[in-house]
A and B are shown apart, each in its own frame.
Chain A
Amino acid sequence: MDGSMVLPVIIFLPLVGAAAIALIAPSRSMVLKPVAVATSAATGALTLWLMAAFEAGDGGFQFTQFAEWIGSAGISWHVGVDGISLFLVVLTGFLFPIAIVACDPPHDAKAYYIWMLVLETGCLGVFLALDLVLFFLFFEVVLIPMYFLIGKWGHENRKYAATKFFLFTMLGSALMLVGMLALALLTARETGGAVTFNLVELANSAGELPTITARWIFLSFALAFAVKVPIFPVHTWLPDAHTEAPTAGSVILAGVLLKLGTYGLVRFGLYLFPEASRYFAPLLFTLGVIGILYGAVVATMQRDLKRLVAYSSVAHLGFIVLGIFSINTEGIEGGLLQMVNHGLSTGALFLLVGFIYERRHTRQISEMIGLQKAAPVLAAVFTVVMLSSVGLPGLNGFVGEFLILAGAFVAHRWWAVVAAAGVILAALYLLWAYQRVFHGTPDDANRSMPDLNWQEKLVMAPLVGLIVFLGVYPKPVIERMEPAVNALIEHMEEVEGIESPTVGDRPEGSFEELRELKAHYGEEEGH
């Protein structure tokens, strides 16, 4: 395959699948799911190929494709992947087939699968677009399928949740659109060149805008992404949307959609506005820490298991924001890693909650008890995923969380000390929920709940496998991220003309040298 064609194929393959599904006659509805699964699985396979073919040591964009689109307005078809977006693309390719296999829509299957696949195209497009207008288009495309998925296949309160989700995000993205236009127009004026929406070109002239202007435009971007992440206090759409969405919707919402926000903060915040990012870092840092503690506290008191998981996302995403605005290699890498980790563990949690809901037809914690007796396999999988979410070393969540906090500590010591307390609260809300749902003696309603069936086990197996693998051996991921992250930080330092505070080099020492040193001192003292 020609290298430059692989990204467009990845982006549009789900859309092609959606079109194919649209053409399937109603009488042959049994092929709907196989087509959707096959399309998303093929896309997933392509993303895996992309990861394998990705040049690990290269910090720039790879597999880029560029074509003039609306030349006069400086808008182009420009896609590419680097270490920052690579694993979000793979995560998307991985989670969609799982979400599609795991959950069957109760009605209107055709429309459901079409929206799911359109959604996948949108998500992949967001992560791969290197043109601001292109990015914006995909960013908006994501909104519509999700609106319908929640509004049509969601739970009782779906209309309210879908509307709230739509309006919140719309408000943010409208601001971002304004910011984009202003950025392109004003940059063109400063540089005297033609108007362009090309991300790389805009980033290269990032230092040209007056400081105050750049800060205002950064804010318009940051607000849009803050809604998407979501960052406290614009997070309240999230518990409603997550809770009311159908299971697959929640998995994608938590696993992929929230990352549009954090990814945006890296790609369009740090990269385009180095000075403004650093200027506002204390603010975002503070909001991140608040999110960590506040999300955890509110999660603890939830009565609805799905809502609890939703609020846990507020806390986890707070960590990611903290990592990103540490603006050092450890913090940003931790943030990127945690985007993947959160996608896996929270995606898995939503699936498990969905499996329980299908069996018990309730999400109320108070109506469940002793499920471990009835469904030991479900309980065991839940335990592993929960411990991953809690940040147990050896599982994936820990590595990201540790890097984030280490990076944050280097940047803003006291905030990291406070944020680290989030690990206590995470243990509290998840273990307490586990105790109430799975421990105890099951009553009549819960005694006969069936355990996971083979299909559900098959869905959970790769998730659990990755949760363990990334905890034990995250190096393949980190080493592909690092060149891009370092390039980003160098770019920022170059634009700002400063050097970020960092840790000294790893000492060149060992026990042997220590002994020699000791012996040397000993001799001196002896004389």
Chain B
Amino acid sequence: MSTLVDLVWLIPAFPLAGVLILLALGRRLGEPRAGWLATAMMGGSFVATLLVFIGLIGHEGDERETVVTLFEWVPAGKLAVDIGFLADPLSITMALFVTGVGALIHLYSIGYMHGDEGFSKFFIYLNLFAFSMLMLVLGDNLLLTFLGWEGVGACSYLLISFWFTDEANASAGKKAFVTNRVGDWGFLVAMFLAFLTFGSLQYGEIFFEVESHGVAAGTASAIVVLLLVGAAGKSAQFPLHIWLPDAMAGPTPVSALIHAATMVTAGVYLLTRMNPIIAEAHGWVPDLIMWVGLGTALMAATIAVAQNDIKKVLAYSTVSQLGFMFVAVGSGAYVAAIFHMVTHAFFKALLFLGAGSVIHGMDGDQDIRRYGGLARLLPITSMTFVAGWLAIAGVPPFSGFWSKDEILAYAYGENKVLWVLLLATAILTAFYMTRLVLMTFFGPPRWAEAEAQVEAEAGEEAEDTAEAASEAGPPHRHPHESPWTMTVPLMALAGLAIVAGVFNLPFTSDVHFLGNWLKPSLFGNSGHLPFGGGTQWILAIVAIVGSLGGVSAGAVVYIRRRIDPARIEHPFLARAWRIDETVSNFMGGPGRRAFERTTQFDEQVVDGAVDATGTLIRRAGTKLRVSQTGLVRSYALGIAIGAVGLLAWFIYRAGL
């Protein structure tokens, strides 16, 4: 029986077609047609996803999984991996927001990348990224997910270093790829272990094997921990988070799409997908996931408080929000994790695009200390940004409140200390986002007075702000609103950021739409809240008070100036807990020296021994007065004599 679900292969096919067409014709199409084509492909992909979604709804509730296999990819020995797609509630949920948000960001990029000489190349990469991301999400086996996983990593590398003439961008791209590779090592080894244990890498077969034959808790734990290493790399969790802030060197739509809304959530997706294995692991494994998430969330939130680059604030905020999702996964709240992933995709993409619009209006300046009072000049940008701010701050009824509240509730059920720390993180989130909004859009404009200073420091500034080099504008600033291709996505995302809470309302199980929808993908492994509605209400009220408290605190510091901001923005926080510098210093210091020593060892010891032998033979040869025969021939003769001798010895030994 063929249904709409069988069209699942169309979802990645659209962006792939976009890549191929643009590769062939991109330059001829030029600006803006190349961008429109890529956007249309994303639109097509979104429509295809909607069709599959409608098809899935048509299935019986617990029969909402369909595998569509295209062809055998790697059939070798016992390993048999197909290019096959798994359409189930989880993958289609992911695909819906990836294609939806992706299409909006493609549209936005047409305006944002206006005038760039790499315009069509940018859209090739963007389409290629969307294709890889959809392979990651839709692949019906670990290896295909890994294909997407590495594919998005490569696109991320290409896009971070898109403006490659600047060394900083190039370094950031490389750093992102290499750091991710550390995580990929974990993913790889997890796959080997899964293959050895289950004889398959296909999700359906692995889960069947777990259910029918079981799996040793130790093995399941090892697989999950290794996957966690991979997930920490891709989703920027401590200690592999160091690449994400640097990744902001890429064009802002890239930061929105890849480094906020979609790619970085891949780790959360992977762990959610593997929920039947997590269920079989030792109890400390989910706890580990939880505490890694919490530690990252709290750490990144404190760092975000002290950043002055608008994109860096958002980057650390992303790291922090991903930490929330890990906490959710660790406490068995898979639905909450996916819920927060979706709402976060809306409001964080919105915030990044808004930031891009501000940067665009400010001629490439990214320092919020030189912003201020922009609300009047960028009305649409500021209105939509405010919606994103209230959503991430957790103010009801904006979407972020609902998803964060659910995570907090599960955290409370797991561990009270965890809950307190997570609540503190939520309050910090409200605080630093308030700071960002107030410093950018309100208060007195500081860009006018900063101008003289900017002119004086022109050279230095160009290096400071990653995008200034390519968008160096005139010295006299006239902040302006962006074109409609940029503001329409902002408005659409703002709408979603406001209302997306309705996807999963907590009041009755009937309105817990996302939870009910995802049920078939979670195989009954979701955690349950160990308390009733009353406690939930109290927790929600505490969360609301916390959010409003964070917002008020931000207002007190940054509008009323009751407290000197310098006392809060501690250098230790501004320097991101010195983690990145420590790693860099190690790599540049002892790490580099070890590499150099090894190379010297190769040159002087290993190869030195070879040359020394050669010299020795030559000296001996001179003594024996056979040097006139020429080097190669005399050596060859020596070897031949030696060989004959050896043969004689062999035969003698064997007693022939």
Contacts and interface: CB of A to CB of B under 8 A. Distances in A.
Nearest to A166: B632
Contact of B208 (A163, A175, A507): A507
Contacts of A502: 77-78
Contacts of A423: 181, 184-185, 188
Interface string B79-99: 110000000100000000000
A175 B65 contact: no
Interface string A398-415: 110011011101100100
A431 to B, nearest CB: 5
A158 to B, nearest CB: 13
A223 B561 CA distance: 76
Interface in B142-183: 143, 146-147, 150-151, 154, 157-158, 161, 164-167, 169-171, 173-174, 177-178, 181-182
A393 B136 CA distance: 12
16 contacts: A163-B631, A170-B636, A185-B656, A372-B164, A392-B154, A394-B147, A409-B195, A409-B196, A423-B181, A424-B181, A424-B184, A506-B199, A507-B212, A509-B204, A510-B67, A515-B65
A171 B607 CA distance: 16
Contacts of B643: 174-175, 177-178
Contacts of B453: none
A482 to B, nearest CB: 7
Interface in B47-69: 62-63, 65, 67
Nearest to B207: A514
Interface residues of A, number: 94
A526 interface: no
Interface in A133-181: 147, 163-164, 166-168, 170-171, 174-175, 177-179, 181
B151 A392 contact: yes
Given A181-B647, A504-B199, A403 B211 contact: no
A417 B181 contact: no
B78 A330 contact: yes
Interface stretch (B267-275, B286-294, B423-431, B592-600): B592-600
Contacts of A46: none
Contacts of B75: 475, 478-479
B204 A441 contact: no
A329 interface: yes
A434 to B, nearest CB: 8
The 4 closest A-B pairs by CB, nearest first: A509-B208, A329-B77, A439-B170, A409-B192
B151 A300 contact: no
A66 interface: no
B189 interface: yes
A521 B80 CA distance: 29
B463 interface: no
A280 interface: no
Interface string B507-531: 0000000000000000110000000
A449 interface: no
A428 interface: yes
A399 B76 CA distance: 10
A4 interface: no
B654 interface: yes
Nearest to A232: B606
Nearest to A407: B77
Given A330-B79, A518-B211, A393 B147 contact: yes
A128 to B, nearest CB: 24
Contacts of A213: 653-654
Nearest to A329: B77
Contacts of A175: 643, 646
Most chain A CB inside 10 Å of its own CB: which residue of B157, B211, B594, B653: B211
Contacts of B24: none
A308 to B, nearest CB: 11
Contacts of B533: none
A440 B164 contact: yes
Contact of B161 (A233, A393, A439, A505): A439
B581 interface: no
Given A216-B653, A403-B76, A506-B80, 7 more contacts: A237-B610, A394-B150, A402-B191, A403-B79, A405-B188, A423-B188, A424-B184
Instruction: Classify the secondary structure of B's interface with A.
Output: helix
B606 A297 contact: no
A346 to B, nearest CB: 19
Contacts of A94: none
Interface string B291-324: 0000000000000000000000000000000000
A373 B165 contact: yes
A504 B188 CA distance: 19
Contact of B639 (A171, A302, A393, A474): A171
A200 interface: no
A511 B646 contact: no
**Chain A interface helix/strand/loop/mixed:** helix
Interface string B196-224: 10111000111111011000000000000
B74 interface: yes
Interface of B: 62-63, 65, 67, 71-80, 88, 143, 146-147, 150-151, 154, 157-158, 161, 164-167, 169-171, 173-174, 177-178, 181-182, 184-185, 188-189, 191-193, 195-196, 198-200, 204-209, 211-212, 523-524, 594-596, 598-599, 602, 606-607, 610, 614, 631-632, 635-636, 639-640, 642-643, 646-647, 650-651, 653-654, 656
A517 interface: yes
A435 B171 contact: yes
B207 A515 contact: no
A514 B209 CA distance: 9
A298 B599 contact: yes
Contacts of A444: none
B169 to A, nearest CB: 8
Contacts of B614: 164, 167
B78 A506 contact: yes
Contacts of A507: 198-200, 205-206, 208-209, 212
A357 B209 CA distance: 55
A292 B571 CA distance: 42
A102 interface: no
A392 B150 contact: yes
A424 B178 contact: yes
A301 interface: yes
Interface string A358-398: 00000000000010110000000001000100001110001
A510 B76 contact: no
A180 B101 CA distance: 66
A512 B181 CA distance: 35
Interface centre among A168, A213, A297, A521 (most CB of B within 10 A): A297
Contacts of B77: 328-330, 333, 403, 407, 482, 485, 502-503
A421 B188 CA distance: 10
A117 to B, nearest CB: 23
Contact of A503 (B146, B185, B195, B595): B195
Contacts of A217: 650
A233 B74 CA distance: 33
Nearest to B602: A298
Contacts of B67: 510-511
A61 interface: no
A185, A420, A424, A511: most-surrounded residue (chain B CB, <10 A): A511
